[in-house]
Amino acid sequence: MRAKQAEKRYKNLIGGKWLAAHSRKTFENRNPADRDDLLGTFPSSGKADVAAAVAAAKDAFATWRLVPAPRRAEILYRAGELLAQRKEVYAREMTREMGKVLEETCGDVQEAIDTAFYMAGEGRRLFGQTTPSELPNKFAMSVRMPVGVCGMIAPWNFPMAIPSWKLFPALVAGNTCVIKPAEDTPLSTHNLVQTLMDAGLPPGVVNVVHGFGPDAGAPLVEHPDVRAISFTGSSEVGRIVGQVAAAHFKPCSLEMGGKNAMIVMDDANLDLAVEGALWGAFGTTGQRCTATSRILLHKKIARVFTEQLVARTKNLRIGNGLEKGIQMGPQVNQQQIETSARYVKIALAEGAKLLVGGKPLRGAAHAKGFFFAPTIFSEVEPTMRIAQEEVFGPVLSLLQFGTFEQAIEIANGIEYGLSTSIYTRDVNRAYAAVRDLEAGITYVNAPTIGAEVHLPFGGVKQTGNGHREGGTGAIDFYTTWKSVYVDYSDRLQRAQID
Ligand code: ADP
């Protein structure tokens, strides 16, 4: 029956028009829980499409930057209202295109709604500074200016939330945008941008170019008229994007991997910690940059915690995220399944002990999708690859420690620095951990996931390059400072001299 459905052909959005790729090539968007389910085809774009999109964004910048910020914000606000009306429809399509369960895709759309309302408020802030001048009869202030055309490259794990983190602050600040969605999840970005257009965004202010990274992403990073680049994805690609942007002296925000640790102290509420571990490790099928991928257990509670966690993990219901009661969906594609399987082999070869899972699920209920069993290893040592490298799948490592200081040392002993967490009832320990964990985010008595849109999001070390999404950090990235001096003395006054 499905095969007879008219195939939906989605297009790029360039200068307000929906266009096929110059090459006419397309790629398919299929459901990772059921490969027979085709959501539609999307343009497989290249350099010429990117050039057209950048030219449209450059044209639109001439007028969009002059629209008062509170008016720009009204469009975001309307988009937030429309997203709220369409939440369920968009969430269902998102579950079909990337697999996470409906409750989570509703959360993903909600994050875009929250970002719309937060950034709409920013339209009446965008605060600069006023400050005294060192000279008499002179006024000094700083104002935020838009950067110009911004290029955005998005990943597939938060296919509406992450594009909204990039687009909405850029738009309220007066920039125009070209976004390249992830090739696994083009529909959610399409839906987001369609909503912006329905909310009254003028043509050319946001342009969408679908396609694969090297074909459609790379030309965006290189284009001389693109003034800033925002990238979320793997460290491997982020390194390339950062190097190309640096060669053009472009501001470039990189948000990449993590190997996030949860510390469970001997005084922790263990039921709460087990609950948090399940959500942190297996929510979004472990495919979050903030996923809990290492749990550091105090020796005294390690056995009890592990037994409880393994028992709960065995009971997780895995399947199509649209079905009621399903707790974990598929991985997004075959490559991710292979990565999970590869790390299982690596962990076993290193001497870690497999407690549960460890392989793809192949039964009748899972035959049509990319399902991998939730997997837990114990007896993991801090230097093992399974404790050091990002898997981006439902594969969790359990480590043990004897003292708080050891826990901090193990948590920090990796090249990433995104999210961390500690479960303890000791307020002194909690604050010491907040101070000493090397990460952009620390949770106390909650797992490593659960960021809110009005706080800075990003990490230290190899997770990022110092920029933040969310909160005011996003506004910092999408604006540039102009210092303004107004001399009303009617004479030449020379700073540092007169
Ligand atoms: P993931 O592992 O999440 O798929 P990637 O880093 O491979 O992460 O992809 C993140 C985004 O970067 C995707 O939109 C992808 O198409 C894009 N991308 C991949 N390679 C390049 C490249 N060479 N230049 C620019 N963008 C790229």
Q: Look at ligand 1, atom 24, and give the residue with the nearest C-alpha.
A: 218
Residue nearest to atom 21 of ligand 1 (CA): 213
Structure tokens at 221: 């990073």
Pick the CATH number of 12-256+464-483 from 3.90.1150.10, 3.40.605.10, 3.40.50.150, 3.30.70.20: 3.40.605.10
Tell me the mean pLDDT in the region 122-127.
97
pLDDT in tens, 79-113: 999 999 999 999 999 999 999 999 999 999 999 99
369 falls in which pLDDT band (50, 70, 90)? very high
Two tokens, residue 338: 């292979």
| Rounded mean pLDDT, 406-417 | 98
Q: Tell me the average pLDDT across 383-392.
A: 98
Residue 213 in contact with ligand 1 by CB distance below 6 A = yes
Q: Is 68 left (phi over 0), alpha (psi -120 to 50) or beta?
A: beta
pTM of the model: 0.97
Q: Quick one: tokens of 198? A: 């329905």
Within 13 Å, how many C-alpha atoms sit on residue 368's CB side? 13
- Residue 233, pLDDT > 90, answer yes
What does the pLDDT look like over 463-483, one tens digit per residue? 999 999 999 999 999 999 999
C-alpha distances in angstroms, 496 versus 41, 129, 132, 382, 491? 63, 21, 14, 55, 16
How many CB atoms sit inside 10 A of residue 490's CB? 7
For ligand 1, mutation pick of 237, 255, 390 (most atoms within 8 Å of CB): 237
d(CA 451, CA 470): 9
C-alpha separations of 424 from 206, 307, 443 in Å: 46, 19, 11
Range(s) for CATH 3.40.605.10 in the chain? 12-256+464-483
Report the mean per-residue pLDDT for the chain.
Answer: 97
| Distance from residue 176's CA to the centre of ligand 1 (Å) | 21
Specify the pLDDT at position 1.
Answer: 44
What is the arithmetic mean of pLDDT over 252-271? 97
Topology (CATH) of 260-444: Aldehyde Dehydrogenase; Chain A, domain 2 (3.40.309)
Average pLDDT over residues 265-273: 98
pLDDT-derived band at 5 (thresholds 50, 70, 90) equals low
Yes or no: say if 176 and 57 are a contact pair by the CB < 8 Å rule.
Answer: yes
Sort 125 into a burial class: Cβ within 10 Å, 0-12 / 13-18 / 19+. middle
- Give the long-range contacts of residues 304-312, CB within 8 A, separation 24 or more: 304/270, 305/264, 305/270, 305/273, 305/274, 306/355, 306/376, 306/378, 306/398, 308/270, 308/271, 308/274, 309/274, 309/277, 309/278, 309/376, 309/398, 310/355, 310/356, 310/376, 312/274, 312/278
**C-beta of residue 142 within 8 angstroms of C-beta of residue 491:** no
pLDDT of residue 7: 81
User: Is 103 a residue of the active site?
Assistant: no
CATH 3.40.309.10 maps onto the chain at 260-444
Instruction: Give CA angle at 398 (397, 402), nearest 5°.
Output: 145
Predicted pLDDT of residue 127? 97
Indicate whether residue 276 lines ligand 1 (CB < 6 A): no
289 assigned to active site? yes
Closest ligand 1 atom, residue 180 Cα: 14
Q: Is the pLDDT of residue 3 over 60?
A: no
**Residues 423-441: pLDDT tens digits?**
999 999 999 999 999 999 9
pLDDT value of position 179: 99
DSSP character string of 183-240? TT-HHHHHHHHHHHHHTTPPTTSEEE--S-IIIIIHHHHH-TT--EEEEES-HHHHHH
